[in-house]
Each structure stands twice: as structure tokens, then as C-alpha cells.
Structure 1
Amino acid sequence: MLSNKLFPDAHVLPSIIKACAGLLAVNIGKQVHGFSLTSGLSLDPFVESSLIHFYVKCDEIIAAHKLFDNMAERDVVSWSALAAGYARKGEVANAKKVFDQVQYLGFEPNSVSWNGMIAGFNQSGCVLDAVLMFQQMHLQGFKSDGTSISSVLPAIGDLGYLSTGSQVHGYVMKMGFYVDKCIVSALIDMYGKCQCPLDMTRVFEETGQVDIGACNALIAGLSRHGLVDEALKVFRELHGRERELNVVSWTSIIACCSQHGKDIEALELFREMQATALMHGKAAHCFSLKRDITSDVYVGSALIDMYANCGKIQLARSFFDRMPIRNLVCWNVMLGAYAMHGNAKEAIEIFLWMQRSGQKADAVSFTSLLSACSQSGLTEEGRYYFESMTKDHGVEARLEHYACIVSLLGRAGKLEEAYSMIKNMPFEPDSCVWGALLSSCRLHHNMRLGEVAAGKLFELEPENPGNYILLSNIYASKGKFKEVDRVRDIMRDKGLRKNPGCSWIELKNKVHMLLAGDKSLPQMSQVLDKLDKLSMEMKKAGYMPNTDYVLQDVEEQEKEHILCGHSEKLAVVFGLLNTSQGSPLRVTKNLRICGDCHAVIKFISRFEKREIFVRDTNRYHHFKDGDCSCGDYW
């Protein structure tokens, strides 16, 4: 248009500025701003308003504020955008200062003004400010709409304000907002976060909706409370109605099964998901590469998470470093990736970088940070961040944070301190907290506290076989096999069974499952022969099998034979036989890797000159040249 000597007027220029905002094209937008100044169009109120929206959306909030202060005719639209911009950045004081200026500007806030503040505070993790702004809106006589309600409910859930959430629920029913799918999903999510699974299910049933967002919220909430059978039922009903499932649906139900002992169901669901979604996922990734949108914060976050889950932590970090813009989700995904791999020092480095960049941490950030410290045995660092979370960052400790700190202390052998932490918690500990203590008692063979933790878990989740197995293992490690038999009798009476050790390895686009002690694999004779040869080489090098990890009351020779049948060993050797020399191996296990298998795989990585990645229920282990990334602490 310009090359044809046609100059935009005050009607066209706002459209150009809006396009720059949509593309986050900061430099071009500034050039357009310069053009508006030289042409005199910058004084037009529509052009000024468009420029303020542009700067806010491009995170140039200081430029937006300066422009607003110099406006000849300030309006409610520009003022609302500026206040919401500060709220989204988590700059509470500046957001409220701008918002309070309305009394001197000659106009009143409208629904967009209030909604921008509530949604902005919620997005930036300032959840208490979001709820207070919502209450202030009502006190001043403004009615909530669908946007304000769906924005404040997540904040209410994060705070655990059940009474406030119930009041909002009553308002929703009174105003007939049940038809709003976003509100229904937010209500279900809120009740889930407030530890109210019955209310969560009631909302889902009352609305009669089968919207995928509501279903995903219900599945996630049921999973959070360990109600895996109910979650599976909801998922299967949705799937049976041939509803379009998305990645959140599949991820939620697979994680739910995996975290609560239903490993076979998790594997079956994963394979089913692969069959229906893998082609779409690959197409989406290729599309993002062709269109050069991998730097987009949402696409980038998904890629970081995907590569971290596949064990490629360096590639995940490479994507993170190349992102020109990062939001809270990006930072948290990278923190979670390092926590998953037990890279505590790198997680702390990311957290400190996050602080320097001005991004405020939230509850999810600290969960990942504390988890990373726990995985690596950084006890003092974990204590420091747990204390500073509330004191320095204003983030109230939740159940998941206490579970992390209990695990941190327990794994370091400070079991009495961990138990004292549980007894002094400001709310009732859940199964995650007691489970963290029981796992630590199993690690350190502490029978007294193990019995306490197991007793609590038997009350909270009586149908979870894993808790009975952990207590049984503690008794077995002490040689109390009568107690072992008693626990197993209880399991049998309840119809519970131990989940067999199971490992998976993908070779030539096909997933192979190996069960502990299973002889049905076509190549099992070759696998066992190779394992025998490796055992001989290990004994020559001075390695002796650690039979402490066999908890059956059998002879020593039989214990060595049992160790050879552990599924992760079988999967690694199966991979050696079916891949070219030097290629890496990736194995997934449904249980925690045992110490003997860990030592064997370390030896194999050096003897066979292979990189071996093993993902167990606890973390990633990266074996290379006879060492493991966990530093033998897991």
C-alpha cells in the first residue's frame, strides 16, 4: 500500500497495529507507531487505543503505560487493557494502582475491566488477588458473567476456599450458568482441588453434559483422590459414546492408572492411544516445523514436555533455550523435566534464572523444585526452598509439597523428622504423604514407622495392593516371614494381587513387554544365555549378586536365579540382542528399579559400550560408561 503511495488513515491503521499484536511483531509495530507519530495519526483515539493494546500484548507494559499517560482522551478500553496487562505479569501493586485511578478518569469499570483483572491475576498465579478482585466486583454492585466465574474458580480451588467456591456454585445455579461448558469444567476442577470428590461428581451428573473439558476435569479430579476405578468408568463411557478424545483425556487416565497400581491397564490405554493419535501427533509436529511455530510458547512447552518424557532431556533444554518468549508454563515444564530426571542442580539453576527474569513461581514450580531436591538427596537445599516458598514467595504449602518434603527427609534417612513433619501439618495428611513415608521406611527397613504409615494407608486406600506389598517387604527384610504371610493373607481375603514386575522396550516401532520370570518370549533362551555370559563377566570383575533384594525365604542359589528374572534385566538384554552395536536402549518399568538390577545395568553400559535409559516409577536413570545419572541415589 505504501509502495503505491497510498497512506493509511485512522480507520486502516488500527487494523495494521492489531495485526502486529497478533503476530507479536514488536519491531514492526514500533515502526508503525513511528509512522503514526510522523503522520499525525497518533492523536486519533482509535489509533492510540490500538497501540496500547499492541504494547500490552507484546509484554511492553512500560511503553503502554507511558502512552496511556500521554493520551489526550483516555477511555475505559485502554485503561482496562493496561490494568489487565499488569495483572497478567503478576505486578499486583501496579495493576491495582492503575485500576484505582478510575475514580479520577471520568468513567466507570465495565465487565471487561473486572474480568481482565480477575483473569490476569489468576494467570500470573496471584490467586488470592484474583479472588479478592472478584469479591470487590460484587461489593460494588457488578454482576459476574461466565468469564469472571470461570476465571475465579481455578483461583478458589488453588486456595482451597471451599466455602467461597460453594457460594459461587450457588450463584451459577441461580443465574442459569450451567449451560456454560467452561464454568462446568471449572466447578468440577475447583471441587477436586478442594478435596470434595462427591461434589465434583454431583456437578458432572447434574449438568448432564458430556463435554470433553468437563470429562477431563472429572478424570483429573478422581485421579487426584485415587478413585481410579471411577475415573476409568468415566473415560470408558466417554470413549464408548465415540466422543472426540484429546491428549489431555488420554494423558489423565493413563497417569491415573499408572500412579495407582493399574500398570497393565495403563499400558493397554497407551497402546490404544498410540493407535488413534500417533499419526495426528506426528503430523502436528511436522506442521509446527514447516510453519516455523516451534518457538510459540504453547508449541514449545509441549515439545519440551514430550522430549523430556522420552528421556531426551538435552533436546528438551535445547528447545527451551531457543524460545524467544517464555511464560509460567514453559518454566514449569522445564523444571518438571529436570525433576523427572533427578537433575536437581539444573532444576535449581532454572528456578534462579526464572526469578532473575521476573517470572513469579507458583505452587507447581515448587513441587518440581522440591521433587528434584528429593531425587538427588539435596536435603538442606530442599528444606531451604520449602521454608522460603511461603516466607519469600507467598505460596502456601499444599499436600503435594508436604509429600515432597517428607520424601526428601525420609529418603535421606531422617525418618523421625519426616514423621514429626507429618504430625505437625496444618491439615490432614493424604495417601501421598503417608505413601512417601512408607516408601522411605521400606528403603531404610524401619518397621515401627512403616507399620504406622501402612496402617494409615490401609484406611485411606484399602484397595491399593502396593501399600500391602511395601509393608510385606519391610517385614521380609527383617526376616519376619510370619508377618509377611499375614499381610499376604489379608491381600488374598480382599481379592488383591501384587502387580508383577513388567518392563517395556520399543524396537523397530514395536513395543515388547517382558514380565518378571516369564519364559514365553520367543527369544527367552537366547536372553537367558546372554545374561549368564554377562553374569560370568561381572563376577570376573568382582561383582557379586546382591540377594538382599530377593525377599522370599529361599536358598541363596535360588535368590540369584530369581534376580536373573527381573524384568528390567530381561528387557535390556533383549534389546542388546535385537539392536546394532552402540545404539542406545530405552526401557520403561512399572515398578522401582532394584539395586541389583541397577548395578547390573551399570556394568552392561560399560561392558557393551551402550547408553541405556530406564524410566521407573520414581525417575529416569541414564546409564553410560558404568555410571548412572542418579549417582546411585534413588
Structure 2
Amino acid sequence: MLKHGLFPDAHVLPSVIKACAGLLAVNIGKQVHGFSLASGISLDSFVQSSLVHFYVKCDELVDAHKLFDNMVERDVVSWSALAAGYARKGDRVNARKVFNEVKNLGFQPNTVSWNGMIAGFNQSGCFLDAVLMFQQMHKHGFKSDGTSISSVLPAIGDLGYLSTGTQVHGYVIKNGFAVDKCIVSALIDMYGKCGCALEMSQVLEDMGQVEVGACNALITGLARHGLVDKALRVFKELQGQQMELNVVSWTSVIACCSQHGKDIEALELFREMQSAGVKPNAVTIPCLLPACGNIAALMHGKAAHCFSLRRGISGDVYVGSALIDMYANCGKIQLARCCFDRMPVRNLVCWNAMLGGYAMHGKANEAIEFFLLMQRSGQKPDSVSLTSLLSACSQSGLTEEGHRYFDRMTTDHGIKPRVEHYACVVSLLGRAGKLEEAYSMIEKMPFEPDACVWGALLSSCRVHHNMSLGEVAARKLFELEPMNPGNYILMSNIYASKGRYKEVDKIRDIMRDKGLRKNPGCSWIEVKNKVHMLLAGDKSLPQMAQIMDKLNRLSIEMKKAGYSPNTDYVLQDVEEQEKEHILCGHSEKLAVVFGILNTSPGSPLRVTKNLRICGDCHAVIKFISRFERREIFVRDTNRYHHFKDGDCSCGDYW
């Protein structure tokens, strides 16, 4: 238009400015503002109003405020936009200052004005301000509409103000808003945040006609409180009702399963989702990938990676972080690093994911080098970064280096040590056999040690068979976590290693009285794109006869090579022969042999275990890796073990 010698007037310019606001094109918008000043159109009230809206939308609130103050005719629309802009930015002081100036401007706020403030405060995390603004709205005689109610309910939920939420619910019913889809979803979300599962279901039932948005809110709410079985049941019921489930529905239930230990179900749902013709997005993939990593389902993880490449979302920072984490959890630390190196944009989460991967694999030197690269790249580490670094030093026995990084946390990085950092250093010292030094550090902590700290000490006492300090740690843990069976089992193991079977029986009696049971050893292995779960001592496996036969033949070969089973890891008071039989039933051994029987010779095996690998299994798998000429990756609760040619990456230090 300008090239053709035609100049915009006061009717055209607001449309151009609105386009700039829609594109968040700050520089172009400022040029248009300059054009309006040069041409004299800037004094027009429509142009001025559109410029205020432009600057507010582009988060240039100082300029917006200046323009508003200089407007020829200030109006309620521009004033509302400016006040809401401050609220949306979380600038509570200026938001309230602008809003309270209304009495001097000659006009009154309307419902849109109040709604803008409530929604703005909610979006910026100023939840209490949003609720107070909602209350003031009613106090001044304004009736809430669907926008204000659906904006204030999330804030009420985040604050946990159940009584206020119930009052709003009553208002919704009284004024006939109970059929509004957005309000119903917001009510379910609010009750979910307040931990009211029954009320969530009731709201959905009262709606009469089931709507997908409300169902998504219900599934998310149930997942938030770990009610994964109920969330799955609701989802299956909706499928049975032929409801048009969308990508949010599928992503919510996949995330629910992935976050609460139902990893295989998450993978199955992802396949169903694609079969149903629903395309996963950049939120779905990061929700699925942890499930792949949790059970070392590498092929499923690679398939998700390929899907993200095809959809062009692999460059997304959240997808990239999840891919790094998945490959590290599946034993492919080099692929994790490749994903990191290829990311077009990185944030702190990406750096921490890679650092955590090195720690899990016991690659302390690589972790230290990566930490230094992180600093050279201008990325400031946080407390999570330091936790991973200290953990890496602990896994590799780099006691002095770990202690040095801990001591310099505050001076070098401005991070005050938190309880998790103390837990890492206690583990660092304890694993190195410096148990008294570890205990001394606990006593000098500036705050009360938690279960993680005492658990680190108890685990080290188990490794070094220190009964006296183990009893100290166990007593604290029994107070802090009376219903955690793992603590009782660890102390029981220490007693059993010393032949103190009367004390073992006492602990078992305590566990029985509390209704606690030892978590059964469980291992997962992916074979031919299917994840198989093997339980310790499970005789119901279809191939159990072949597995036991193969184990017996391997045992003969091992004994020829001078190996004898380490029955110290059998803590029952039984005969030696029975102890050897019990060792054969450990889930990681079963998983490795299952993999040997069902994969081609020489192919690598990847096993995940829910408990710490025992010393006998560690020695057996080292032998198998050499005898069968296999690379075997085993991830336990402590770290990754990479077995190759009879050696382990941990150097027998774990």
C-alpha cells in the first residue's frame, strides 16, 4: 500500500497494529507507531487504543502505560487491558495500582475488567490474588460469568482452598452453569487438586452428558493422586461408550501409567492410540519415553524417537530431554549424548538429564568434564546438577573430588547444600568404608537428616557389615518410615550376614505385625520387541525348565573355572545346598538366561531390576558375559552395570 503511494488513515492503521500484536512483532509494531506519530494519526483515539493493546500483548507494559497516560480519551477497554497485562505478568503492585485508579478516570469497571484481572493473576501464579479479586468482584455487585468461574477454580485448587471451591460449586449449580463444559472441567480439576476423588466423579455424573474435556480432567485428577487403576477403568469405560477421545485423553492416561509404575500398560496404550488414528504430539512423547526407560524397552524407545523425527518434533526441548533420559536409562549413554549434541536449543533440564545419565552409568570422569562444559557454555548449574555430580563421584569412589565439589557448592555456584547433597556425601564416604566419617557428617548437618540420609548410611553399613552403626541408622529409619519394608530388610540382611538369626526373626516379627512384606525381586527384559517380566523364584514361566537346565550347565562350567556360589547372599538359615538353589532363582539371573535362550548368539542383553543386584548374581553375570560372548547391561536401583568379557563397568564397586 505504501509502495503504491497510498497512506493509511485512522481506519486502516488499527488493523495493521492488531496484526503486529497477533504476530508479537514488536519491532514492526514500533515502526508503525512511529509512522502514526510522523503522519499525525497517533492522536486518534482508535489508533491510541490499538497501540495500548499492542504493547500489552507484546509484554511491553512500560510503553503501554505511557501511552495510556497520554491518551486523549482514556476508555475502559484500554484500562482493562493494561491492568490485566500487569496481572498476567505477576506484577501485583502495578496491577492493583492501575485497577484502583478507575475511580479517578470517570468510568466503571465491567465484567471483562474483573475477568481480565482474575485470569491474569491465575496465569502468573498469583493464586491468592485471583481468589481475592473474585471475592471483590462479588462484593462490588458484579455477577460472575463462565470466564471468571473457570479462571478462579484452578487458583482455588492450587491453593487447596476446598471450602471456597465448594462455595463456588454451589454458585455454579444455583446459577445454571453446571452444563458449561469449561466450568465442569475446571470443577473436576479443582477437586482433583484438593484430593477429592469422589467429588470429581460426582461432578462428571451430575453433568448428564459426558464431555471429553471433563473426562480428561477426571483422568488427570485421578492420576495426580496415584489412582491409576481407577483412571484406567474410566478411560476403558469411555472407549466402550464410543466417545471421541482426543490426543489429550490418550496423553493423560499414558502419563498416568508412566508415572505410577504401569510402564507396560503405557506402551500398549501408545500402540492403541496410533491404531485409533490419534496422532501423538510433543507432549505425548515425553510422557511415553520414561516408561521405555523404566523397563529398558530400547526398541520401543527407538520407535518413539523415529516417530518424533517423522513428525518433526524431535527438536522440541522437552522431547529432546526425554530422549536423553530414555537412552541413558536403556544403557545407551553414547546415544543419549548424540541426542544432546544434536539439540538445536538446550535448557537446564537437558544438561541435567545428560549429567544424571553419566552418574547412573558410573562415568564420573565424563560427568566432571560435562559439568565443566556446562559452565563454559554459560549454563548455570542448579541443585539437581550438583546432586548428579556428587552421585557420579560416589558411584566411582572419587571421594576427594566429590568432597571438594560439595565444599565449594556455595562459594563457586551460590547453592546452599540441601538434604539430598548431604545424602550423596554420606553415600560417598560410606561406600568408601569411611562409615564413622559419614556418621560424623550426619551429626553436624545444619538441619534434621531425613530418610534419604539415614538410608544412605544403612546401605553402606550393609555393604561393609557394620552392625553397630547400622542399628543407629535403622532405628532412625523405623521412626521416619515405619511402613517402608526396605529398611527392615536391610537391617535384617546385616544381622543375617553376622549369623544373628534371632535378631533376623525379631525384625520379621515386627514386619509381620505391621503387615509389611518384602518387595519380590523382579526383572524386565525386552526380547523381540516385547517386554517380559520375571519374578524371583517364579516357577510358572513357560520356559522355566529350559532356563534351569541352562543355569545348571552354566554352573558346571563356572565351577570348572574355579567359581563357587557365594551363599553369603542367601540370608535364610538353611542348608548350603538349599542356599545354592535359592541363588539360582534370583530374577536377574532368570532374565539373563531367558534372554540367551530367546535371542541370537552374540546379541546384547538389557535387563532392569527393581532391587539392588546381589554379589553372587554380579559374579555369575560377569562369567556369563565372557562364556557366552555377550554384552549384558543390568540396571538396578543403584546404577548401571555393563558386563563385557568377564568384567563389569563398575569395577566391582557398587
1:45 and 2:33 correspond: yes
The CA distance in 2 between the partners of 1:298 and 1:591, in whole Å, is 29
The CA distance in 1 between the partners of 2:329 and 2:576, in whole Å, is 38
The CA distance in 1 between the partners of 2:430 and 2:631, in whole Å, is 31
1:465 and 2:482 correspond: no
Residue deviations 1:547-599 (CA, integer Å, cap 9, x gap): 22122223333322222221111110111111101111111212111111112
Residue deviations 1:460-516 (CA, integer Å, cap 9, x gap): 222221111111101101110000011111112222221222222222233322222
Residue 523 of structure 2: SS of its match in structure 1? Answer: strand
The CA distance in 2 between the partners of 1:566 and 1:454, in whole Å, is 26
1:183 and 2:159 correspond: no
Amino acid corresponding to residue 266 of structure 2 in structure 1: M
* Contact residue 188 and residue 214 of structure 1 kept, 8 A: no
1:440 and 2:460 correspond: yes
The CA distance in 2 between the partners of 1:559 and 1:447, in whole Å, is 23
Amino acid corresponding to residue 410 of structure 2 in structure 1: T
Let me know the Cα RMSD of the aligned residues. 4.6
1:577 and 2:597 correspond: yes
1:488 and 2:511 correspond: no
2:371 maps to 351
Residue deviations 1:345-389 (CA, integer Å, cap 9, x gap): 222222222222222222332332233222222223322333333
Compared CA separation, residues 245 and 622, structure 1 to 2 (3 A):
farther
Residue 386 of structure 2: SS of its match in structure 1? Answer: helix
Amino acid corresponding to residue 554 of structure 1 in structure 2: V
* Contact residue 24 and residue 58 of structure 2 kept, 8 A: no
1:276 and 2:269 correspond: yes
1:385 maps to 405
* Contact residue 134 and residue 152 of structure 1 kept, 8 A: no
Compared CA separation, residues 397 and 510, structure 1 to 2 (3 A):
same
Amino acid corresponding to residue 598 of structure 1 in structure 2: H
* Contact residue 373 and residue 379 of structure 1 kept, 8 A: yes
Compared CA separation, residues 398 and 533, structure 1 to 2 (3 A):
same
1:540 and 2:551 correspond: no
Residue 642 of structure 2: SS of its match in structure 1? Answer: strand
2:614 to 575, 589, 594: 594
Amino acid corresponding to residue 155 of structure 2 in structure 1: I
Residue 392 of structure 1: SS of its match in structure 2? Answer: helix
* Contact residue 400 and residue 433 of structure 1 kept, 8 A: yes
1:205 maps to 196
The gaps in structure 1 that reach 5 residues or longer are 23-28, 49-73, 85-98, 119-132, 154-164, 190-198, 223-229, 257-265
1:558 to 574, 578, 586: 578
The CA distance in 2 between the partners of 1:7 and 1:374, in whole Å, is 72
The CA distance in 2 between the partners of 1:404 and 1:140, in whole Å, is 50
The CA distance in 2 between the partners of 1:281 and 1:377, in whole Å, is 46
1:324 and 2:315 correspond: no
1:518 maps to 538
Residue 293 of structure 1: SS of its match in structure 2? Answer: coil
Report the more deviating stretch, 361-370 or 4-13.
4-13
1:611 and 2:631 correspond: yes
2:521 maps to 501
2:174 maps to none
The CA distance in 2 between the partners of 1:83 and 1:404, in whole Å, is 45
| Larger gyration radius, structure 1 or structure 2 | 2
Residue 413 of structure 1: SS of its match in structure 2? Answer: coil
1:624 maps to 644
The CA distance in 1 between the partners of 2:89 and 2:414, in whole Å, is 19
The CA distance in 2 between the partners of 1:381 and 1:248, in whole Å, is 43
Residue deviations 1:21-59 (CA, integer Å, cap 9, x gap): 89xxxxxx9xxx8xx8xxxx98433899xxxxxxxxxxx
1:475 and 2:489 correspond: no
Deviation at 1:612, TM superposition (A): 1.2
* Contact residue 14 and residue 46 of structure 1 kept, 8 A: no
**What is the correspondence of 1:53-452 to structure 2 with a 5 Å cutoff?**
145-148=118-121, 151-152=124-125, 171=132, 174=135, 179-180=150-151, 182-183=154-155, 186-187=158-159, 203-205=194-196, 266=261, 269-280=262-273, 284=280, 285=304, 286-452=306-472
1:90 maps to none
Q: Provide TM-score, normalisation by structure 2.
A: 0.67
* Contact residue 118 and residue 133 of structure 2 kept, 8 A: no
The CA distance in 1 between the partners of 2:5 and 2:35, in whole Å, is 18
Report the more deviating stretch, 361-370 or 240-249.
240-249
Residue deviations 1:140-174 (CA, integer Å, cap 9, x gap): 99897545555457xxxxxxxxxxx9x77975885
Compared CA separation, residues 620 and 213, structure 1 to 2 (3 A):
farther
The CA distance in 1 between the partners of 2:582 and 2:653, in whole Å, is 24
The CA distance in 2 between the partners of 1:200 and 1:431, in whole Å, is 31
Amino acid corresponding to residue 609 of structure 2 in structure 1: K
The CA distance in 2 between the partners of 1:388 and 1:138, in whole Å, is 43
The CA distance in 1 between the partners of 2:447 and 2:638, in whole Å, is 26
Deviation at 1:324, TM superposition (A): 1.7
The CA distance in 2 between the partners of 1:218 and 1:139, in whole Å, is 40
The CA distance in 1 between the partners of 2:624 and 2:7, in whole Å, is 70
Compared CA separation, residues 43 and 273, structure 1 to 2 (3 A):
closer
Compared CA separation, residues 376 and 598, structure 1 to 2 (3 A):
same
Amino acid corresponding to residue 264 of structure 2 in structure 1: R
1:51 maps to none
* Contact residue 354 and residue 360 of structure 1 kept, 8 A: yes
The CA distance in 1 between the partners of 2:6 and 2:377, in whole Å, is 40
* Contact residue 131 and residue 156 of structure 2 kept, 8 A: no
The CA distance in 1 between the partners of 2:22 and 2:337, in whole Å, is 31
2:548 maps to 528
The CA distance in 2 between the partners of 1:497 and 1:615, in whole Å, is 23
